[in-house]
Chains A and B, each alone.
Chain A
Amino acid sequence: MYQNMEDMLRLSKEQQIPLYQLILENEMKLTDKSEEEVWKQLSMRFEVMKDSASKALTKEGKTVGNLISGITKKHYDYTLKDETVCGTFINSVMARALSCSEVNASMGKICAAPTAGSCGIIPAVLITLQEEKSLSERKILEGLMISSGIGAVIMKNATVSGAEGGCQAECGVAAAMAAAAVVYLSGGTDEMVMDSVAFSLMNCMGLVCDPVAGLVQVPCAQRNASQAINGLLSADLALGGMKSVIPPDQVVDAMYKVGKMLPLSLRETAMGGIANTTQGKKITKEIFGD
């Protein structure tokens, strides 16, 4: 039985099983599901992710107030032109993250990962990596198992709710979960997996939740794009051999404490940050009246 990342590392070593196997066995024990059923459930979720990550690339979604309608298609068209600063890979990841956000805001079907507001990060990273490195479906699902196992530990020891911990707890945790899968899928060690989680959370510590008009659109869509890249670069930092000076579990703890310290106005109440700008307030008034 594990409660944190340190336990996970120790148990998978002791039992000489891969990290994903440890998480799988815990899930089977916890939910009484067969191994086949757990893989099936993950695969079903990945299918939903693939749909939501591609839907808005070519077709504009209709969102309340039209704050992000069409941003995905525009970015995808730019990506295809091959004149980008960060390259096709990075921009494809961002386009897919935007797609999930736009689909979510236009009442389309998504898989919360770990929340609806942060639903674009894990799909964008995993689908683009799968395409880039020709990874098998099974390998991707193993990565997804590691992502969600890490997510569960963070949910247990901290929070993934924007109302409780700010955006760092939603999009930041999604970035950490994505990084963990990327390190595994790139052949990194289990220690590297955990270090990438620490880096992802460090890189966005304190990020506030400040949605304009309380809608899951701005700056949520942009944060999905940028935190997807945070996950990727954090994976590379770990894969390159950089060790986290602070143990990953302590970084999770710090993220939770910072979240608790955030004033209410910066925790999903639409009373601070971007939401509380002159324009932000004007948009709110236009959509909801006074």
Chain B
Amino acid sequence: MEISILNVLGPVMIGPSSSHTAGAAKLSLTARSLLTKPFTHVSFGLYGSFAKTYKGHGTDIALVAGALGIKENDERLKRAFLIAKEQGVTYDFYELDLENTHENTVVITFTYTDGEKMEVVGSSIGGGEILIRKIQGFETELTMNSSTLLIRHLDRVGIISEITKVLADEGINIGVMTLNRKARGEEACCTIETDSYLTKNVVAELKKLGDITSVQAVNVE
């Protein structure tokens, strides 16, 4: 049997809906983990069933909770609006028309204190599972079920082999890898899902490589 009993009894979550509440919190929590600076505002563009029913399922509260770092099983989730006020964080919601995407999709845009923006697009695909589709305009397909590296770099010959060598030297196995670039020789984005915990050392070693813009590691328990 390839289904874990802990997926049958679970997740432990804040109700009422695994896709509209737990999944929503997980989406914005993931987006938050990719921030590089403090933020003051977060915008949520809602599509499909998210846009139609978000009030009834507390999707709005869950999204704000995730942006504040509150997990889908944390009872503070319910008080997210209040906590945002206490922390001086503002937020807004708007409806979106997207084509060919999953019913429960959200565009999350953080505004840093310096006015710069960070945008993540993701979908809640059921049972609390999520899919991150876009990070800062780069297409991805991250489930965030394993520890993930997000590397922004210049598109040039050999850079991927240098990245994978660092991982091999650290004994890290690559599960899934995606690579996207804006244009030949321009900015590119590489996402790597791994089987191991990503240490600060791994991130530091990757940053030492030439033509790397940024390296971010998101570890999953």
Contact = CB atoms under 8 A, between A and B. Distances in A.
Interface of A: 1-3, 23, 26-27, 30-31, 38, 41-42, 44-45, 48, 64-65, 103-117, 119, 122, 144-145, 147-149, 151-153, 155-156, 160-161, 163, 177, 213-217, 287-288
Given A109-B12, A109-B13, A288-B53, A26 B1 contact: yes
Interface of B: 1-18, 21-22, 52-53, 55-58, 61, 73, 75, 77-78, 126-128
Nearest to B61: A107
B170 to A, nearest CB: 20
Contacts of B17: 116-117, 216
A119 B61 CA distance: 21
B55 A152 contact: no
A31 B21 CA distance: 26
A65 B58 CA distance: 12
B6 A31 contact: yes
A3 B15 contact: no
By Cβ-Cβ distance, the 10 closest A-B pairs, closest first, are A104-B15, A148-B5, A151-B8, A152-B3, A216-B16, A107-B78, A148-B8, A148-B9, A111-B12, A105-B16
Contact of A45 (B12, B15, B56, B61): B12
A64 B5 contact: no
17 contacts: A26-B1, A107-B14, A107-B21, A108-B15, A113-B8, A113-B9, A117-B17, A122-B9, A148-B9, A151-B5, A155-B8, A156-B1, A156-B2, A161-B127, A214-B56, A214-B57, A288-B53
The winner among A27, A38, A116 for most chain B CB atoms within 10 A is A116
B15 A110 contact: yes
Contacts of B77: 107
Contacts, number: 134
B15 A152 contact: no
Contacts of B11: 111-112
Given A45-B10, A64-B56, A287-B56, A116 B3 contact: no
A121 to B, nearest CB: 12
Contact of B4 (A30, A108, A161): A30
A119 B5 CA distance: 15
Contact of B9 (A26, A31, A45, A217): A45
Contact of A214 (B1, B53, B58, B73): B53
A19 to B, nearest CB: 12
A152 B16 contact: no
Nearest to A105: B16
The A interface is mostly helix, strand or loop, or mixed, namely helix
B6 to A, nearest CB: 6
Contacts of A1: 1
A93 to B, nearest CB: 19
Contacts of B7: 152, 155
Contacts of B21: 107, 116
A64 B55 CA distance: 8
A217 B17 CA distance: 11
A144 B8 CA distance: 11
The winner among B1, B52, B61 for most chain A CB atoms within 10 A is B1
A103 B15 contact: yes
Nearest to A104: B15
A161 to B, nearest CB: 7
Contacts of A48: 12
Contacts of A110: 12-15
B5 A116 contact: no
Contacts of A38: 5-6
Nearest to A270: B53
Contact of A152 (B4, B18, B57): B4
A152 B5 CA distance: 6
B15 A216 contact: yes
A31 B57 CA distance: 32
Nearest to A173: B8
Contacts of B53: 214, 288
A44 B9 contact: no
Contacts of A153: 1
Contact of A111 (B2, B9, B55): B9
